[in-house]
Amino acid sequence: MKVYTVQVNLKLGNIDQNREKIYSLLEKVDRESLVLLPEMWSCGFDNENLNLHAERTKDIYKELKKISREKSIVIAGTLPEKTKKGIANRGFVIDCGDIVFKQTKVKLFRPTGEDKFFVKGKSKFDIAETSVGSLGVMICFELRFPNISYTLRKKGVEIILVPAQWGKERKKHLEILSQARAIENQCFVIVSNTVGRIGNVEYAGSSGIYSPWGDTLVHANSDEGIFETDIDLTDIYKVRRKIKMDI
């Protein structure tokens, strides 16, 4: 199965330009594949204008559903959504044209003030059963919390998706934690991060795809683009049989 991670430099608050960039990359993916987009890819953390950006999310979902349906692919990432309590940074999974999963970010990153602009999600951490396997979502900062991936592992996760906007000063942390989550949970991990300066923040790049054995299958470093590899879900169960880590 072909899987992809997208790594881009976004234009803060410029939904039209970001959509054009992302959709042009989605044109390149094979049918019946999985593609992960970065966190908050439509607008970035343009926090002062989140209400305006969230108003456009419904239409973006329609566009993504159309692309997903036409190519029979799974698309995941996060977008800003309005809720009764405020704006949520909400992870989504779209499978062959249908939204099959949503999850609001639980661990908000206080050093950049996320807790001041976004509502916190509930610590449920369910699995999305899709045409490409059992998917779990850990949004950016959540990657640092092994109890989250442990919960997903107990529920049978096969691929952990990490949509992110991870700062450059913590680049090594992103690489080490991504590999560690793959090893300790004996599953594939896909990370999609932004790169370069967006607003006042420099982002790390280092998007990647890791095997259940911890091998680095893809490492995007500081390049923009869409990066791919082939994976076989049976590798997960070979590793789990070889080194039994009963949960």
The per-residue pLDDT for range 156-175, each reduced to its tens digit, is 999 999 999 999 999 999 99
Q: Give me the half-sphere count of Cα atoms (radius 13 Å) on the Cβ side of residue 183.
A: 9
For 209, phi and psi rounded to 5 degrees? -130, 130
Residue 162: φ, ψ to 5°: -125, 85
Residues 1-22 have pLDDT tens digits of 999 999 999 999 999 999 999 9
For residue 21, the model assigns a pLDDT of: 98
Q: How far apart are CA 49 and CA 132, in angstroms?
A: 35
Give the tokens for residue 230: 């082939």
How does pLDDT run across 93-116, given as a tens digit for each residue?
999 999 999 999 999 999 999 999
- Burial degree of 9 (CB within 10 A; 0-12, 13-18, 19+): middle
Task: Give the model's pLDDT for residue 247.
Answer: 65
What pTM did the predictor assign? 0.98
Which CATH superfamily does the domain covering 2-242 fall into?
Carbon-nitrogen hydrolase (3.60.110.10)
Bigger pLDDT: 66 vs 123: 66
Encode pLDDT of 184-210 as tens digits: 999 999 999 999 999 999 999 999 999
142 Ramachandran zone, left/alpha/beta (phi>0; psi -120 to 50): alpha
- Predicted confidence at residue 246, as pLDDT, reads 76
Domain residue ranges of the chain, discontinuous segments joined by +: 2-242
Mean pLDDT of the chain: 97
Q: Write out pLDDT tens, residues 63-88.
A: 999 999 999 999 999 999 999 999 99
- The band of 216, judged by pLDDT with boundaries at 50, 70 and 90, is very high
Q: Hey, what amino acid is at 235?
A: D
- pLDDT of 133 > 70? The answer is yes
Question: Token pair for residue 220?
Answer: 């995007």
